[in-house]
Amino acid sequence: MATSNNSPKKPSLNSSSSSVSRPPQAVKFGRRTSSGRVLSLSRDDDMDLSGDFSGNNDYANYTVLMPPTPDNQPMESGAAVDNKADGGEQYGVPTRVGMTRRVGSDQEGGGMEEKRMSVMQSNKSILLRSQTGDFDHNRWLFETKGTYGIGNAFWSKDDEQYGNKSGVSLSDFLDKPWKPLTRKVQIPAGILSPYRLLVVIRLVGLILFIAWRIRNPNRDAMWLWAMSTVCETWFAFSWLLDQLPKLNPINRSTDLAALHDKFEQPSPSNPHARSDLPGVDVFVSTADPDKEPPLVTANTILSILAVEYPVEKLSCYISDDGAAILNFEAMAEAVNFAEVWVPFCRKHNIEPRNPDSYFSLKTDPTKNKKRPDFVKDRRWIKREYDEFKVRINGLPEVIRRRCETHNNNEEMKEKKLATEKNGGEPPAEPVKVVKATWMADGTHWPGTWFNPIADHFKGDHAGILQVMSKVPPPDPVMGHPDDKVLDFTGVDIRIPMFAYVSREKRPGFDHNKKAGAMNAMVRASAILSNGPFILNLDCDHYVYNSMAVREGMCFMMDRGGDRVCYIQFPQRFEGIDPSDRYANHNTVFFDGNMRALDGLQGPVYVGTGCMFRRYALYGFHPPRSYEYSGMFGQKKTKAPNLQDSQEDSETEPLSGHPDLDLPKKFGNSSMFTESIAVAEFQGRPLADHMSVQNGRPPGALIAPRLPLDAQTVAEAVAVISCWYEDKTEWGDRIGWIYGSVTEDVVTGYRMHNRGWRSIYCITKRDAFRGTAPINLTDRLHQVLRWATGSVEIFFSRNNVLLASPRLKFLQRIAYLNVGIYPFTSIFLVVYCFLPAISLLTGQFIVQSLNTAFLCYLLIITTTLALLALLEVKWSGIGLEEWWRNEQFWVIGGSSAHLAAVLQGVLKVLAGIEISFTLTSKSAAEDEEDIFADLYVIKWTSLFIMPLTIIVVNIVALVIGISRTVYSVLPQWNKLVGGSFFSFWVLSHMYPFAKGLMGRRGRMPTIVYVWTGLISITVSLLWISVSPPDDGK
């Protein structure tokens, strides 16, 4: 602000009204740059972190506080600077945040010139940047006199204050400012603005095109015109549902150094620098050791136990829903190997910490390794891992022999006992002994037996809970040299707590598949460790980035993090063929759609790689939320806090929407009920600044965990019993939601419906990696399961049309698209047959290929291509990946999505239950080719419709071309139009056709049968519709 000496007096740092010992508190939201400026990153207390279109609200008050220097001295208004050598006009500093330096009058031009000339008199050698050699103006500005400036290596001991009687001391600026743990990075306007403009242009073009199509029917083929117009209208609607949520994509970044400074540095409340981070419980689920090999699961467990997170704050649980002894003993072997693998990873900073993936790396393992014993250690641990793999692979044979030995011994005992009872004579009837499955300690396995009997098969067995690795001590346990193992001197050799869980199953109970298993783990972990955050992973998704848990914790512990229900990480896959024939990487969804949803209320939950807030899983509301009203949700009001309201009546709901009622029925375990409040408190952000709402005091989580006792473990076994959920709200309002094969999407939707928001965390190094089915049949069955769940959502109470007012408008559109997208398959299949029908009948969807139709087609196609290019730009996906996604959209839409719609309708109308195929995690039999599974053809009924589309279009092309060539009056425009759309269909179906051919053209016989059958049928149909004329 430009002022003069005779202007009204402004407050200054040494004025009586502001003579405080510290700078303004608002400056604590900031950081210091290399030049000494303090950047205020203050945000409004009521700022919504949802990232709406108002992106500039992220840091509303972006101001600069200039430190007092000889060029910028605090002073009384009108006072002169005594030590101003250049005679220039003085400068003043107001006290409030948002200060600006005074701009001198024209008279100070000479003084400024002398300042510029003084550069030549300074020692330039100390003013050059160490890396580039360029002149550092900021360094000259603050270090030319060497006795002032923030961040100098030297400080004058004689003068502890800035200027003369300023009242501001060195300690004011040495006080560390408050740092945010995360930052929202907006997509550049140069990319996002044209992207939004193209969306509007294409939308207008589609509306005009459909209006033109309706006004210009094809009188010669009204049925063809009507079908095509209806399909095109639905495609436009479906595109709009998919496109609207993409209007505000954002990126996010984390500050792991700030997280370390806040929670793991000495402080008055934490003098011993113990970790003040909250606990994390990691859930891994498996069901069938035949389809999910124990070695894959064991590697996942090893990667979890070795993550870079406080050992005493981390707990790992595996849910074996099949209660297989093979999984149990494989996990015991994994824990034993973890005692050397985990310290080895910490000693040499290994990445990734999945041993199978680490030893399979093609890069140089010695890169960036500086310890002289690394090669020796790696050679030793590699040998240990090879022996570990052999033990895991040999477990089925070991268990079988053990069981045979024990069963033979039992049989001999029974025979001996029967002989004694028979007076020394062998019994007349043979002795029958139950063929039991035996554990290593000589006792019966309580789970599923190899020869199932009552109480010992997959749907009927007792609950099992075994803590295989006890709670670690609170302080690090350093290793020591050992000739037999590695030298772990100075390395923490503790490993996190690990527990094997298999819930009880009995006939007559609905166990609710994976959702029921996850809820059982939620209850058991609440009793044993009660980590306020839960990370769930599939058994084939391992930790690829050991800092991933810390990255997610940055969002949970940041200001406003108490409103975040979960952190969703993108899914990354290994073992995919280089061409990604069936779009297994799914990058368009994970890098495009999910990143865009992060700019709204948050991404959807996709089943794995997700860190939950335990309190949100229990069905409670966020501490602060908003309600959106109006046609487009433009009216935003603060939602009432139902948790503080009095629950006067159980018959009257607290709100108008059932999802907004508070959970009440958690079961009859008092120990579990008492853990809820503890988990809520421990999950709060750190109250290290007055602007942090709903925080906890620093140092509240440094107390050591108590060791487990028999009573606690017994209570954990009780809460995983099959009867515990009777007359409770588990699966309805609490935990994972039941009633859908895609329980993940429904669970995330319920949280968003209560007002919570979620975060999408994309790390520089992939957080987790897993496997995906590259076989066409397995891939289609996977898509069938997802689409079936979406159809179930559409026909259930979880339909977004019944959502609460706490769901944002564009978030509603995103969830609406989740439930509607399978129905596009009906129109897609019809549209894929239209080109063939056009070629067979000699008609087209329009009367003629006139200029208007071609212009509309050009505009729609061009805008789609430009949108794809810009989407590639802001999402980081490749054009080839985008094209593969388009191809598989047609393949999946004409097969799996159509079957899902039929199954969903049958379930709603006839009550026929849907069964899905468990995705296989095992490799193909051909060990020499890692992509051998890509060429395996496993016939399924899902192949029929895409194969029919391909054959019909090829036959129609041949017929259409032949008829036009030999026609007296050929209609080339209709042939060109039909052929163009037919080639469009076939180009999208190319990966499917290539998959049917198998390796080196080994096409199954059934494909030839179906191809011939369809070709004959189409030919006969065409002859009957258009019989040859005998007179010509």
Annotated catalytic residues are 321, 744
In angstroms and rounded to an integer, the radius of gyration of the C-alpha atoms of the chain is: 35
Q: CA 739, 741, 742 angle in degrees (round to 5)?
A: 100
| Nearest Cα to Cα of residue 802 among 689, 694, 659, 672 | 659
Q: From residue 238, how far is each of 356, 981, 984 by CA, in Å?
A: 43, 20, 19
Considering all CA atoms of the chain, what is the largest pairwise distance in Å, rounded to the nearest integer?
Answer: 128
Q: How many residues does the chain have?
A: 1032
What gap in Å lies between CA 353 and CA 334, rounded to an integer?
13
108: amino acid identity, one letter: E
The DSSP annotation for 208-221 comes to: HHHHHHHHS--TT-
What gap in Å lies between CA 436 and CA 458, rounded to an integer?
15
Can you give 177-196 as a three-state secondary structure string?
CECCCEEEEECCHHHHHHHH
The DSSP annotation for 316-331 comes to: EEEEETT-BHHHHHHH
What gap in Å lies between CA 108 and CA 469, rounded to an integer?
74
The DSSP annotation for 825-861 comes to: HHHHHHHHHHHHHHHHHT--SSSS--HHHHHHHHHHH
Please report which residue ranges of 349-486 form alpha helices under DSSP H. 355-359, 374-421
What gap in Å lies between CA 560 and CA 530, rounded to an integer?
22
What gap in Å lies between CA 279 and CA 315, rounded to an integer?
8
Are the beta carbons of 687 and 695 closer than 8 angstroms? yes
CB atoms within 10 A of CB 342: 24
146: region left, alpha or beta (phi > 0 left; psi from -120 to 50 alpha): left
What gap in Å lies between CA 319 and CA 869, rounded to an integer?
43
How far does CA 389 lie from the centroid of its chain?
Answer: 30
Are the beta carbons of 770 and 572 closer than 8 angstroms? yes
Q: What is the DSSP letter of 437?
A: -
What gap in Å lies between CA 728 and CA 468, rounded to an integer?
30
φ, ψ of residue 557 to 5 degrees: the values are -95, 0
Burial status of residue 123 (CB atoms within 10 A of its CB: 0-12, 13-18, 19 or more): exposed
Counting other chains too, the contacts that 381-390 makes at CB distance below 8 Å and 24 or more residues apart are: 381/340, 381/341, 381/344, 381/355, 381/486, 384/337, 384/340, 384/341, 385/337, 385/341, 385/355, 385/356, 385/359, 388/333, 388/337, 388/355, 389/295, 389/356
What gap in Å lies between CA 286 and CA 514, rounded to an integer?
9
What gap in Å lies between CA 223 and CA 413, rounded to an integer?
81
What gap in Å lies between CA 552 and CA 566, rounded to an integer?
9
Q: Is 771 helix (H, G, I), strand (E, B) or coil?
A: strand
- Give, for 247, the enclosing helix (H) or strand (E): none
Q: From residue 684, how far is each of 250, 626, 697 by CA, in Å?
A: 25, 20, 9
Q: Taken in order 238, 793, 614, 683, is the CA torsion positive or negative?
A: positive
